[in-house]
Structure 1
Amino acid sequence: MVVLNRIYTKTGDGGRTRLASGATVSKTDARVAALGAVDELNAVLGVARLHSGQNDRIDAMLGRIQNELFDLGADLATPSEPAPAWEALRIVDSQVERLEQEIDWMNESLKPLDSFILPGGAPLSAHLHLARTVARRAERDAVRLVEGGEAVNEAAMRYLNRLSDHLFCAARRANANGAGDIKWKPGATR
């Protein structure tokens, strides 16, 4: 259990922070950037949930995902090399598979896409599209870690990739009973 007795520690005043492993890194470190994007995504989902009252199942999925994003943050904050002295919290394949099952469920009732769609429509949909873009950034930041030679849990990478697809489908589903998809009309304003 996490216990936070003090909110400010002053350890970051010099532009450095600690990872879960205890290693001190710059606040501009690629791992910290990935953690920050995951944290931002969680906050954006919190705002989206303000509009999910009429979508109980979507709200429940988003609530679970918010908790899983803390798991993902713990995963990213604990480098696998050197191996930690404790059993690190890691994203697991069943979490990725659940996202895939939910994508399939949401997609079943949606009309096939015949155009790219613009973010918008219902407030929930607009916020979920914003969350989708933040999820993509978090994924890019995690890829930068890998490309920089850092080891990142493969299930965590798959989770981030599926999550943006999940949020896209959830955004479409949020528009399905009202506003509908807002279709891109190529060159319409020339």
Structure 2
Amino acid sequence: MTHPESVTATITTPDDKDFTDLTLTIQSVRNYPYAVTTHNLTVNLLHTYFVLAGATPVLVHNCGELNLGSGDTPMADAVNVDLKAAPGVNVAADVGALPFRGGSFNAVHAINPLGFQPVSTETARAMNPGGILTVAASKSNKWRRAGSEAVAEAGFELLSAGGLDPKRAFGVMKRADGGIIPVGTNFETRVCRRL
């Protein structure tokens, strides 16, 4: 972050003060051997940003939504991850080794995943318990579904399966050979909850 942003949400305890609309600068860091009040801040308009820990840049993100394998279909207001850097991709990473702390996201999306199974223990690790994983894909996509045993082993429960959710009908969907798939053509949406 190169300029101040407004704090739009806070998690506080009864003895805390309201930090909304303050510009905060960390001036020092101390470690405590006992529990102390901490503040979790949500920064307006930013889902991922870097802060400096000394001279080391550290990626920080507001707990929110993750879009796995975003490719040519980045989602607005989500952290977009793909194996390769591209326009709209926030983080270039392997979805089998996500560079996020456990419990970082409330929702994860995988739209027409290619070459990876989004219903995995690694996806579950990156999610908060109770978080929602939505996989929307062409019915010809072999990565669109996992069997009930694999869903349970990955730490999820299947909530629903049906047609394409209109919220997932955006961007350009492509086949493995690069051909364009008309959005909504023979698509399925599967929704799972992280246990």
TM-score between the two structures when normalised by the length of structure 1: 0.23
Higher fraction of strand: 2
Q: Greater relative contact order (Cα 8 A, min sep 6): structure 1 or 2?
A: 1
Higher fraction of helix: 1
TM-score between the two structures when normalised by the length of structure 2: 0.23
